[in-house]
Amino acid sequence: MASLQTLHPLFNRDEVFEFLKPDIPPSLDLSRGIILYLEDISVSFDGFKAINDLNLYIKDGELRCIIGPNGAGKTTMMDIITGKTRPDKGSAWFGQSINLLKLDEPEIALAGIGRKFQKPTVFENHTVHDNLELALAGNKKVLPTLKARLRSEQQDYIGETLLLIGLGDRPYSPAGSLSHGQKQWLEIGMLLMQRPKLLLIDEPAAGMTHQEMERTTELLTNLAGEHSVVVVEHDMDFIRTIARTVTVLHQGSVLAEGSMAEIQNNQKVIEVYLGG
């Protein structure tokens, strides 16, 4: 009888084994007003600590700038958030409910985090329109993609985005023929097509002319509010024009955080970054 009792759970008719449960990531929960938690994150490459006990919180709808000298760990931090690099320790949560360390790149992208790379990475052989179409939010599994047809509201959204990024006049040019600045915008446009909640933008102003930079500023400030935006940038002028809150990274951890004025007067920051 006793042995039968130990077997009893196996006959439980409503038992659903762990491995049979569909792996649906929980939906984004922003009830505390914080969209991204990075806590005690450390990662090292061959003994070099790229990130060292990093703590960072991004509020919902915030536009945050992150600055820091080369090697401060800015790009590594983005790699961790988007699932490209796994930290050695620490935790990373997207809202209250989504554990980023358990997901891989496509899952994180589908959960609502979009990333723009430092070097503009668009699909050069595809047209501007196709670049946006590929980024379009929707079912990205194999067979639905094979059968996908653009619905009219999707077509409209592509049109709107084209206007927003200033490429409305050349939707059918190959992306490879665009100027450097236009590629940057196209990539930001691709992020928008994904309808992300959190945008990570790595050096959007790199290699841009002054006018292009102004347009980019406008674009990014428009995005904040509806989306949360994290911008990593080197160009201090650019940051001065968009920044509300600035975080300074140094040697893999947060050195200072505050408004641009506070940061500029912070003694530690002046020593390591602004060059005194």
Partner 1 sequence: MSSVRLLYNDKPGMVMLVLLAAAAVLVPLCNLGFPDGHLLHISTFTMTLVGKYLCYGLLAVSVDLVWGYLGILSLGHGAFFALGGYAMGMYLMRQIGDRGVYGNPLLPDFMVFLNWQDLPWFWHGFDYFFFALLMVILVPAALAFAFGWFAFRSRVTGVYLSIITQAMTYALLLAFFRNEMGFGGNNGLTDFKDILGFPLQSDVTKAGLFVASATALALGYLCCRFITGSKLGRVCTAIRDQEPRVRFLGYRVENIKLFVFTFSAVLAGIAGALYVPQVGIINPTEFSPLNSIEIVIWVAVGGRGTLYGAVAGALVVNYAKSYLTAAFPDAWLFGLGALFILVTIFLPRGISGGMTGLFRKRQEIN
Q: Which span sits near partner 1 by CB under 8 A: 54-62, 131-139, 153-161, 256-264? A: 131-139
C-beta of 10 vs 146, nearer to partner 1: 146
**How many other C-beta atoms lie within 10 A of the C-beta of residue 204?**
27
Q: Name the region of 27 (left: φ>0; alpha: ψ -120 to 50; beta: rest).
A: beta
Among 8, 13, 21, 141, binds partner 1 (CB under 8 A): 141
Q: Which span sits near partner 1 by CB under 8 A: 54-62, 86-94, 129-137, 258-266? A: 129-137
Among 8, 13, 21, 147, binds partner 1 (CB under 8 A): 147
Nearest Cα neighbor of 127 from 195, 205, 190, 202 is 190
Interatomic CA distance for residues 272 and 206, integer angstroms: 22
Q: Is 130 in the site for partner 1 (CB under 8 A)?
A: yes
Q: What strands lie across the sheet with 34-45, from one edge to the other?
A: 48-59, 34-45, 89-94, 98-99
Size of the residue set binding partner 1 (CB under 8 A): 28
Binding residues among 14-43 for partner 1 as defined by CB under 8 A: none
Regarding beta strands 34-45 and 48-59, do their DSSP bridges make them parallel or antiparallel, or are they unpaired?
antiparallel
**How many other C-beta atoms lie within 10 A of the C-beta of residue 266?**
19
Q: Which span sits near partner 1 by CB under 8 A: 14-22, 91-99, 137-145, 243-251? A: 137-145
Binding site for partner 1 (CB under 8 A): 82, 84, 105-106, 109-110, 114-115, 117, 121-126, 130, 133-135, 140-142, 145-148, 190, 194
